[in-house]
Amino acid sequence: MNTRTHSPVKTPGPVMVDIEGFALNADDIRRIRHPLTGGVILFTRNFQDRAQLMALTQAIRNERDDVLIAVDHEGGRVQRFREDGFTHLPAMRQLGRLWDHDPVIACKAATATGYVLATELRACGIDLSFTPVLDLDYGESGVIGDRAFHSEPRVVTRLAQSVNYGLALGGMANCGKHFPGHGFVKEDSHHELPVDNRSLEEILEKDAAPYFWLGIGLAAVMPAHVIYPQVDPNPAGFSSKWMTILRQELGFDGVIFSDDLSMEGARFAGSVVEGARAALKAGCDMVLICNSPDKADEILSGLEYPQDEAARRSQARLVRLFPQQKALDWDALHKEAQYRQAIEAVSALMQS
Protein backbone atom coordinates (compact mmCIF):
# COMPACT_ATOMS: atom_id res chain seq x y z
CA MET A 1 0.00 0.00 0.00
CA ASN A 2 1.29 3.48 -0.86
CA THR A 3 1.38 5.53 2.34
CA ARG A 4 2.73 8.73 0.81
CA THR A 5 0.85 11.90 1.73
CA HIS A 6 0.04 14.31 -1.10
CA SER A 7 -2.81 16.68 -0.40
CA PRO A 8 -3.70 20.27 -1.28
CA VAL A 9 -4.36 20.76 2.44
CA LYS A 10 -1.13 20.76 4.43
CA THR A 11 -1.35 19.10 7.84
CA PRO A 12 2.19 19.11 9.25
CA GLY A 13 2.76 17.35 12.53
CA PRO A 14 4.54 18.86 15.57
CA VAL A 15 7.91 17.06 15.25
CA MET A 16 10.94 17.99 13.12
CA VAL A 17 13.38 15.14 12.51
CA ASP A 18 16.69 14.85 10.67
CA ILE A 19 18.06 12.27 8.23
CA GLU A 20 21.24 10.25 8.25
CA GLY A 21 23.10 10.83 4.98
CA PHE A 22 23.09 12.00 1.37
CA ALA A 23 19.96 10.05 0.42
CA LEU A 24 16.90 8.74 2.22
CA ASN A 25 17.12 5.27 3.71
CA ALA A 26 14.22 3.11 4.87
CA ASP A 27 14.30 4.52 8.42
CA ASP A 28 14.33 8.10 7.15
CA ILE A 29 11.31 7.38 4.96
CA ARG A 30 9.46 5.74 7.84
CA ARG A 31 10.01 8.78 10.05
CA ILE A 32 9.08 11.28 7.35
CA ARG A 33 5.84 9.42 6.63
CA HIS A 34 4.87 9.36 10.31
CA PRO A 35 1.82 11.59 10.90
CA LEU A 36 3.53 13.37 13.82
CA THR A 37 6.34 14.54 11.55
CA GLY A 38 6.00 18.08 10.26
CA GLY A 39 9.56 19.01 9.33
CA VAL A 40 12.98 17.75 8.28
CA ILE A 41 16.17 19.59 9.24
CA LEU A 42 19.31 19.14 7.14
CA PHE A 43 22.96 19.28 8.22
CA THR A 44 26.37 19.36 6.56
CA ARG A 45 26.39 15.56 6.58
CA ASN A 46 23.46 15.71 4.16
CA PHE A 47 25.36 17.79 1.58
CA GLN A 48 27.71 16.40 -1.03
CA ASP A 49 26.98 18.81 -3.88
CA ARG A 50 24.04 20.80 -5.23
CA ALA A 51 22.73 18.07 -7.51
CA GLN A 52 22.66 15.60 -4.62
CA LEU A 53 21.02 18.19 -2.31
CA MET A 54 18.29 18.91 -4.84
CA ALA A 55 17.68 15.19 -5.33
CA LEU A 56 17.42 14.79 -1.56
CA THR A 57 14.90 17.59 -1.06
CA GLN A 58 12.84 16.26 -3.98
CA ALA A 59 12.89 12.79 -2.44
CA ILE A 60 11.55 14.25 0.80
CA ARG A 61 8.80 16.03 -1.16
CA ASN A 62 7.95 12.77 -2.91
CA GLU A 63 7.26 11.22 0.48
CA ARG A 64 5.46 14.17 2.05
CA ASP A 65 4.55 17.50 0.50
CA ASP A 66 3.49 18.93 3.84
CA VAL A 67 6.75 18.78 5.77
CA LEU A 68 8.89 21.88 6.17
CA ILE A 69 12.48 21.42 4.99
CA ALA A 70 14.77 23.53 7.16
CA VAL A 71 18.45 24.13 7.92
CA ASP A 72 20.69 26.19 10.21
CA HIS A 73 22.29 28.41 7.58
CA GLU A 74 23.11 31.71 9.30
CA GLY A 75 26.44 32.64 7.76
CA GLY A 76 29.90 32.62 9.31
CA ARG A 77 30.70 29.41 11.16
CA VAL A 78 27.07 28.25 11.06
CA GLN A 79 26.56 27.63 7.36
CA ARG A 80 25.74 24.05 6.42
CA PHE A 81 26.36 24.29 2.66
CA ARG A 82 29.53 26.04 1.51
CA GLU A 83 30.71 24.40 -1.72
CA ASP A 84 29.54 23.90 -5.30
CA GLY A 85 28.40 27.45 -5.87
CA PHE A 86 26.96 28.40 -2.48
CA THR A 87 28.04 31.88 -1.45
CA HIS A 88 30.12 32.10 1.71
CA LEU A 89 28.02 34.34 3.93
CA PRO A 90 29.44 36.66 6.60
CA ALA A 91 29.11 36.13 10.31
CA MET A 92 26.48 38.56 11.58
CA ARG A 93 29.08 40.36 13.70
CA GLN A 94 30.60 41.68 10.44
CA LEU A 95 27.33 43.48 9.76
CA GLY A 96 27.41 44.93 13.26
CA ARG A 97 30.94 46.22 12.76
CA LEU A 98 29.91 47.77 9.46
CA TRP A 99 26.99 49.45 11.26
CA ASP A 100 29.46 51.18 13.59
CA HIS A 101 31.00 52.87 10.54
CA ASP A 102 27.98 53.29 8.25
CA PRO A 103 24.49 52.17 9.35
CA VAL A 104 22.92 52.73 5.93
CA ILE A 105 25.45 50.57 4.11
CA ALA A 106 25.18 47.95 6.87
CA CYS A 107 21.41 47.66 6.42
CA LYS A 108 21.82 47.32 2.66
CA ALA A 109 24.44 44.61 3.16
CA ALA A 110 22.16 42.82 5.63
CA THR A 111 19.30 42.83 3.12
CA ALA A 112 21.63 41.50 0.44
CA THR A 113 22.83 38.75 2.79
CA GLY A 114 19.27 37.68 3.56
CA TYR A 115 18.38 37.67 -0.12
CA VAL A 116 21.36 35.55 -1.18
CA LEU A 117 20.78 33.15 1.70
CA ALA A 118 17.11 32.67 0.87
CA THR A 119 17.34 32.42 -2.91
CA GLU A 120 20.22 29.94 -2.93
CA LEU A 121 18.51 27.66 -0.41
CA ARG A 122 15.15 27.89 -2.13
CA ALA A 123 16.72 27.06 -5.50
CA CYS A 124 17.71 23.75 -3.85
CA GLY A 125 14.28 22.99 -2.41
CA ILE A 126 14.72 24.27 1.15
CA ASP A 127 11.89 26.19 2.81
CA LEU A 128 13.39 27.80 5.91
CA SER A 129 16.66 28.72 7.59
CA PHE A 130 16.69 29.14 11.37
CA THR A 131 17.95 32.72 11.25
CA PRO A 132 18.46 35.51 12.36
CA VAL A 133 20.20 35.24 15.74
CA LEU A 134 18.83 38.02 17.97
CA ASP A 135 21.09 37.35 20.97
CA LEU A 136 23.12 40.30 22.22
CA ASP A 137 26.91 40.15 22.07
CA TYR A 138 28.15 40.45 25.66
CA GLY A 139 31.56 39.07 24.71
CA GLU A 140 31.04 36.11 27.07
CA SER A 141 29.27 33.37 25.13
CA GLY A 142 31.45 31.15 22.99
CA VAL A 143 28.50 29.38 21.37
CA ILE A 144 26.95 32.70 20.30
CA GLY A 145 30.08 34.79 19.73
CA ASP A 146 30.21 36.29 16.24
CA ARG A 147 26.78 34.87 15.42
CA ALA A 148 25.38 37.96 17.20
CA PHE A 149 24.99 41.23 15.29
CA HIS A 150 25.91 43.61 18.10
CA SER A 151 25.73 44.37 21.80
CA GLU A 152 23.04 47.07 21.41
CA PRO A 153 19.41 45.90 21.12
CA ARG A 154 18.55 48.75 18.75
CA VAL A 155 21.30 47.76 16.32
CA VAL A 156 20.38 44.07 16.51
CA THR A 157 16.79 44.99 15.71
CA ARG A 158 17.61 47.16 12.70
CA LEU A 159 20.04 44.68 11.17
CA ALA A 160 17.70 41.74 11.80
CA GLN A 161 14.87 43.67 10.14
CA SER A 162 17.09 44.15 7.11
CA VAL A 163 18.06 40.47 6.97
CA ASN A 164 14.38 39.54 7.31
CA TYR A 165 13.51 41.88 4.44
CA GLY A 166 16.10 40.16 2.26
CA LEU A 167 14.75 36.74 3.25
CA ALA A 168 11.22 37.87 2.38
CA LEU A 169 12.35 39.20 -1.01
CA GLY A 170 13.76 35.72 -1.62
CA GLY A 171 10.48 34.09 -0.65
CA MET A 172 11.59 32.73 2.74
CA ALA A 173 10.24 33.21 6.25
CA ASN A 174 12.51 33.85 9.24
CA CYS A 175 13.08 32.49 12.74
CA GLY A 176 14.47 34.72 15.50
CA LYS A 177 16.51 32.93 18.15
CA HIS A 178 17.18 32.30 21.05
CA PHE A 179 14.31 33.92 23.00
CA PRO A 180 14.57 35.73 25.38
CA GLY A 181 18.38 35.75 24.98
CA HIS A 182 21.35 33.38 25.13
CA GLY A 183 24.18 35.89 24.84
CA PHE A 184 24.63 36.74 28.53
CA VAL A 185 25.54 33.24 29.76
CA LYS A 186 28.91 31.60 29.11
CA GLU A 187 27.73 27.99 29.06
CA ASP A 188 26.88 26.25 25.78
CA SER A 189 23.40 24.72 26.03
CA HIS A 190 24.48 21.94 23.65
CA HIS A 191 26.61 20.57 26.48
CA GLU A 192 25.39 22.26 29.70
CA LEU A 193 22.25 23.82 31.13
CA PRO A 194 22.99 27.56 31.39
CA VAL A 195 21.45 29.67 34.16
CA ASP A 196 20.88 33.41 33.81
CA ASN A 197 20.12 34.97 37.20
CA ARG A 198 19.09 38.41 35.98
CA SER A 199 15.68 39.89 36.70
CA LEU A 200 12.77 39.79 34.29
CA GLU A 201 12.94 43.56 33.94
CA GLU A 202 16.59 43.53 32.87
CA ILE A 203 16.08 40.69 30.40
CA LEU A 204 13.06 42.37 28.81
CA GLU A 205 14.79 45.74 28.65
CA LYS A 206 17.93 44.37 27.00
CA ASP A 207 17.97 40.87 25.52
CA ALA A 208 14.28 40.52 24.67
CA ALA A 209 13.98 44.05 23.30
CA PRO A 210 14.50 43.00 19.64
CA TYR A 211 11.51 40.67 19.93
CA PHE A 212 9.35 43.58 21.10
CA TRP A 213 10.63 45.97 18.46
CA LEU A 214 10.52 43.55 15.55
CA GLY A 215 6.84 42.90 16.19
CA ILE A 216 5.13 41.31 13.20
CA GLY A 217 8.44 41.12 11.37
CA LEU A 218 9.12 37.73 12.96
CA ALA A 219 7.52 34.66 11.42
CA ALA A 220 8.95 32.18 13.93
CA VAL A 221 10.86 32.17 17.21
CA MET A 222 13.09 29.58 18.89
CA PRO A 223 13.44 29.83 22.69
CA ALA A 224 16.74 29.27 24.47
CA HIS A 225 17.63 26.17 26.48
CA VAL A 226 18.47 28.54 29.34
CA ILE A 227 16.95 28.80 32.82
CA TYR A 228 16.06 32.28 34.10
CA PRO A 229 15.28 31.42 37.76
CA GLN A 230 14.09 34.93 38.64
CA VAL A 231 11.28 34.33 36.13
CA ASP A 232 10.61 30.58 36.00
CA PRO A 233 12.40 27.41 37.15
CA ASN A 234 12.02 25.83 33.70
CA PRO A 235 14.20 26.59 30.66
CA ALA A 236 12.50 29.09 28.36
CA GLY A 237 11.46 26.48 25.80
CA PHE A 238 9.59 24.53 28.48
CA SER A 239 8.17 27.56 30.28
CA SER A 240 4.52 28.51 29.87
CA LYS A 241 5.39 31.84 31.52
CA TRP A 242 7.92 32.75 28.84
CA MET A 243 5.56 31.53 26.13
CA THR A 244 2.80 33.71 27.61
CA ILE A 245 5.13 36.72 27.58
CA LEU A 246 5.93 36.00 23.95
CA ARG A 247 2.33 35.46 22.87
CA GLN A 248 0.49 38.01 25.00
CA GLU A 249 2.92 40.80 25.89
CA LEU A 250 4.72 40.75 22.55
CA GLY A 251 1.61 39.83 20.57
CA PHE A 252 3.52 37.16 18.67
CA ASP A 253 1.32 34.86 16.57
CA GLY A 254 3.98 33.03 14.57
CA VAL A 255 5.50 29.60 15.05
CA ILE A 256 7.43 28.71 18.20
CA PHE A 257 10.04 26.00 17.66
CA SER A 258 11.74 24.22 20.52
CA ASP A 259 15.51 24.03 20.24
CA ASP A 260 16.96 20.54 19.74
CA LEU A 261 15.63 18.16 22.41
CA SER A 262 18.81 16.07 22.25
CA MET A 263 20.87 18.97 23.64
CA GLU A 264 22.05 18.90 27.23
CA GLY A 265 19.97 21.99 27.96
CA ALA A 266 16.81 19.96 27.28
CA ARG A 267 17.61 17.16 29.75
CA PHE A 268 15.94 19.22 32.49
CA ALA A 269 12.54 17.98 31.32
CA GLY A 270 13.37 14.29 31.76
CA SER A 271 13.16 11.76 28.94
CA VAL A 272 13.04 12.99 25.38
CA VAL A 273 9.32 12.16 25.17
CA GLU A 274 8.68 14.06 28.41
CA GLY A 275 10.67 16.95 26.97
CA ALA A 276 8.55 16.98 23.82
CA ARG A 277 5.36 16.90 25.86
CA ALA A 278 6.58 19.69 28.13
CA ALA A 279 7.63 21.92 25.24
CA LEU A 280 4.33 21.46 23.40
CA LYS A 281 2.32 21.95 26.60
CA ALA A 282 4.23 25.15 27.35
CA GLY A 283 3.27 26.56 23.96
CA CYS A 284 5.73 25.39 21.31
CA ASP A 285 4.19 24.51 17.95
CA MET A 286 6.97 22.16 16.83
CA VAL A 287 9.79 20.32 18.61
CA LEU A 288 13.16 19.48 17.06
CA ILE A 289 15.02 16.24 17.61
CA CYS A 290 18.42 16.06 15.92
CA ASN A 291 21.43 13.74 15.72
CA SER A 292 19.71 10.96 17.62
CA PRO A 293 17.58 8.60 15.49
CA ASP A 294 16.65 6.42 18.47
CA LYS A 295 15.30 9.43 20.36
CA ALA A 296 13.37 10.54 17.28
CA ASP A 297 11.73 7.11 17.21
CA GLU A 298 10.93 7.41 20.92
CA ILE A 299 9.12 10.70 20.32
CA LEU A 300 7.23 9.49 17.26
CA SER A 301 6.09 6.32 19.03
CA GLY A 302 5.49 7.79 22.50
CA LEU A 303 4.05 11.25 21.95
CA GLU A 304 0.30 11.66 22.16
CA TYR A 305 -0.90 14.64 20.17
CA PRO A 306 -4.68 15.00 19.99
CA GLN A 307 -6.13 16.96 17.10
CA ASP A 308 -7.73 19.61 19.28
CA GLU A 309 -8.14 23.33 18.63
CA ALA A 310 -4.64 24.14 19.91
CA ALA A 311 -3.15 21.59 17.48
CA ARG A 312 -5.13 23.05 14.61
CA ARG A 313 -3.88 26.55 15.45
CA SER A 314 -0.31 25.23 15.50
CA GLN A 315 -0.79 23.58 12.11
CA ALA A 316 -2.17 26.82 10.68
CA ARG A 317 0.88 28.72 11.93
CA LEU A 318 3.24 26.12 10.49
CA VAL A 319 1.55 26.25 7.10
CA ARG A 320 2.23 29.99 6.93
CA LEU A 321 5.98 29.25 6.97
CA PHE A 322 5.87 27.40 3.66
CA PRO A 323 7.07 29.58 0.75
CA GLN A 324 4.24 31.31 -1.06
CA GLN A 325 6.06 31.95 -4.32
CA LYS A 326 7.85 29.69 -6.74
CA ALA A 327 11.63 29.65 -6.42
CA LEU A 328 13.96 30.47 -9.28
CA ASP A 329 16.11 27.55 -10.34
CA TRP A 330 19.88 27.84 -9.92
CA ASP A 331 20.65 28.90 -13.49
CA ALA A 332 17.84 31.46 -13.64
CA LEU A 333 18.86 32.85 -10.26
CA HIS A 334 22.40 33.56 -11.45
CA LYS A 335 21.03 35.54 -14.39
CA GLU A 336 18.85 37.73 -12.18
CA ALA A 337 20.11 41.31 -11.73
CA GLN A 338 18.92 41.59 -8.12
CA TYR A 339 20.83 38.45 -7.16
CA ARG A 340 24.01 39.58 -8.90
CA GLN A 341 23.84 42.93 -7.11
CA ALA A 342 23.30 41.19 -3.79
CA ILE A 343 26.29 38.92 -4.44
CA GLU A 344 28.47 41.97 -5.05
CA ALA A 345 27.38 43.49 -1.72
CA VAL A 346 28.05 40.26 0.17
CA SER A 347 31.44 39.79 -1.52
CA ALA A 348 32.45 43.33 -0.59
CA LEU A 349 31.47 42.67 3.03
CA MET A 350 33.44 39.42 3.13
CA GLN A 351 36.54 41.22 1.84
CA SER A 352 36.29 44.10 4.31
Beta strands of 112-267 (E only): which ranges? 128-129, 176-179, 220-223, 227-228, 232-235, 255-260
Strands 176-179 and 220-223 come out as parallel
CA atoms within 13 A on the CB side of 327: 25
Residue type, 342: A
Distance between CA atoms of residues 95 and 163, nearest Å = 10
Burial of 267 (0-12, 13-18, 19+ CB in 10 A): middle
Q: Is 182 a catalytic residue?
A: no
Distance between CA atoms of residues 193 and 265, nearest Å = 4
Nearest residue to 74 via CA among 140, 133, 29 = 133
Q: Is 137 a catalytic residue?
A: no
Q: Which one is catalytic: 66, 127, 196, 259?
A: 259
Burial of 311 (0-12, 13-18, 19+ CB in 10 A): middle
Neighbours of 36 (CB within 10 A): 18
Q: Are 276 and 15 in contact (CB under 8 A)?
A: yes
Distance between CA atoms of residues 331 and 235, nearest Å = 45
Nearest residue to 211 via CA among 133, 149, 301 = 133
Burial of 3 (0-12, 13-18, 19+ CB in 10 A): exposed
Q: In what helix (H) or strand (E) does residue 117 lie, and over which residues does it extend?
A: helix 103-123
Residue 81 has φ and ψ, to the nearest 5°, of -120, 120
Residue type, 196: D
Q: Which one is catalytic: 190, 253, 297, 334?
A: 190
Catalytic site residues? Answer: 190, 259
